């Protein structure tokens, strides 16, 4: 059971262990997600099963235990550390007499609260509609009121059909707007390509320190905090490097285990900045015991969006929190694979600047596309730190 945390809404967390190796990590991640959403965590209820119960996910006995806790604590929401089917969600709400939220919905809610740009807001709403459209239970009449209501329903049309039609119209509108923004991004990328401006994207697991590193490199003031999904909207800045000129660097949304597919699809327009980048800086929390798993999860999403073949360098961040020295690691061909640094203290950041300068210089050569990440002659300079 977790200690209580202050927040606007009292919630119970539920996590069922199906024998997954990363179970404890997922529980801690659920806890941090709830904290990031500003919720007041009353307790964690755990259980073990071989497989999910088709009707109640957790089984009737465990649901009775959860119901007793809901009554005793007057919790308003129960959050499951899993993806629930629409039927399971309805059955659980009927049994628990309170609102039930799954992991996907919680992540979508966090994204909705963090989106600031017009594009980010559109993308989150599209993802929410895609998720909620499978869970329609007379819950979307406010859409009808926004449209005026009169004349919207055909003869004999049910509320459910009406809601689905309204959501369909809204989804089409959102997709049209996002398509226009996608075209604008494509124009900007073509302009950069014509001008031979190198493009770099920061990617990584949520809370790995991408925004902190972005701020250090560009002297920007992007929001950075020790919470999941502190950054949602993609931010792009120019980075000037002495002797080699400017390049463009983008800070992107962080990834997470079991990132909802609806989010990946809705954010595809933004993530195209990653697909089209000349180089990815894959930022990793070096102090996390799950760093290897996080690297795998990020690479899975990169493969899903078509960015698996974009050259990348691992940036092992937060070395100030672990017994790791600043520096870089090369493979047998002299190609830089990893840079160890701390965005918070600045230790080792000079290695990254030197590396980017060498890559930028290589990028300007005729055969740059095939050799941009191969920096054979880049030597270690201790005085830069």
Q: Any binding-site annotation on 317?
A: yes
Determine the distance from the C-alpha atom of residue 88 to the mean position of all C-alpha atoms in its chain, rounded to a whole number: 26
Count, residues in the chain:
385
Q: Any binding-site annotation on 118?
A: no
| The pair of three-digit structure tokens given for residue 344, joined into one six-digit string | 């918070």
Side-chain-side CA neighbours of residue 257 (13 Å): 19
Q: Any binding-site annotation on 204?
A: yes
Q: Please tell me whether residue 83 adopts helix, strand or coil conformation.
A: coil
DSSP H helical ranges for the chain: 23-36, 60-73, 86-96, 103-114, 118-132, 141-147, 159-194, 210-218, 261-266, 268-275, 291-304, 349-363, 368-371
Q: Any binding-site annotation on 210?
A: yes
* CA–CA dist 80, 11 (Å, integer): 10
Q: Please tell me whether residue 39 adopts helix, strand or coil conformation.
A: coil
Q: Any binding-site annotation on 172?
A: no
Radius of gyration of the chain (CA): 23
Contact 161, 179 (CB under 8 A): no
Q: Any binding-site annotation on 376?
A: no
Q: Any binding-site annotation on 252?
A: yes
Side-chain-side CA neighbours of residue 355 (13 Å): 29
Q: Any binding-site annotation on 251?
A: yes
Q: Any binding-site annotation on 211?
A: yes
Q: Any binding-site annotation on 300?
A: no
Q: Any binding-site annotation on 233?
A: yes
* CA–CA dist 104, 91 (Å, integer): 18
Q: Any binding-site annotation on 231?
A: yes
Q: Any binding-site annotation on 370?
A: no
Q: Any binding-site annotation on 207?
A: yes
Side-chain-side CA neighbours of residue 103 (13 Å): 19
Contact 3, 70 (CB under 8 A): no
Give the N- to C-terminal CA distance of the chain in Å, as an integer.
44
Strands of the sheet with 40-48, listed across from one edge? 40-48, 10-17, 77-80, 99-101
Q: Any binding-site annotation on 208?
A: yes
* CA–CA dist 334, 379 (Å, integer): 10
Binding residues for Mg(2+): 211, 231
List residues forming the annotated binding site: 204-211, 229-233, 251-254, 317-320, 342-344
Residues marked as binding for GTP?
Answer: 204-211, 229-233, 251-254, 317-320, 342-344
């Amino acid at each position: 059971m977790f200690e209580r945390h202050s927040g606007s809404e009292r919630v119970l967390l539920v996590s069922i262990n199906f024998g997954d190796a990363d179970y404890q990590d997922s529980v801690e991640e659920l806890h941090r997600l709830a904290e990031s959403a500003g919720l007041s965590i009353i307790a964690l209820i755990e259980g073990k099963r071989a497989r999910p119960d088709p009707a109640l996910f957790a089984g009737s006995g465990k649901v009775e235990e959860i119901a007793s806790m809901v009554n005793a604590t007057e919790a308003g929401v129960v959050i499951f550390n899993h993806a629930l089917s629409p039927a399971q969600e309805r059955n659980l709400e009927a049994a628990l007499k309170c609102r039930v939220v799954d992991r996907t919905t919680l992540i979508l809610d966090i994204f909705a609260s963090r989106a600031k740009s017009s594009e980010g807001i559109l993308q989150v709403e599209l993802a929410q509609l895609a998720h909620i459209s499978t869970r329609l239970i007379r819950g979307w009449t406010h859409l009808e009121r926004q449209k005026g209501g009169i004349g919207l329903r055909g003869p004999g049309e049910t509320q459910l059909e009406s809601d689905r039609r309204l959501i369909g119209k809204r989804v089409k509108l959102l997709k049209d707007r996002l398509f226009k923004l996608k075209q604008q991004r494509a124009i900007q990328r073509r302009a950069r390509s014509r001008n031979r401006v190198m493009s770099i994207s920061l990617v990584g697991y949520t809370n790995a320190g991408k925004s902190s590193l972005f701020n250090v490199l560009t002297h920007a003031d992007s929001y950075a905090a020790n919470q999941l999904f502190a950054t949602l909207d993609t931010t792009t800045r120019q980075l000037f490097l002495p002797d080699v000129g400017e390049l463009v660097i983008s800070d992107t949304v962080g990834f997470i285990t079991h990132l909802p597919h609806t989010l990946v699809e809705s954010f595809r327009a933004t993530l195209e900045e990653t697909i089209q980048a000349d180089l990815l800086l894959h930022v990793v929390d070096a102090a996390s015991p799950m760093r290897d798993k996080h690297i795998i999860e990020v690479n899975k999403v990169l493969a899903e969006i078509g960015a698996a073949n974009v050259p990348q360098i691992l940036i092992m961040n937060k070395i100030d929190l672990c017994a790791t020295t600043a520096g870089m690691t090369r493979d047998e061909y002299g190609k830089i694979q990893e840079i160890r640094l701390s965005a918070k203290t600045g230790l080792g950041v000079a290695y990254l600047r030197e590396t980017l300068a060498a890559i930028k210089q290589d990028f300007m050569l005729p055969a740059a596309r095939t050799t941009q990440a191969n920096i054979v002659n880049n030597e270690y300079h201790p005085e830069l730190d």
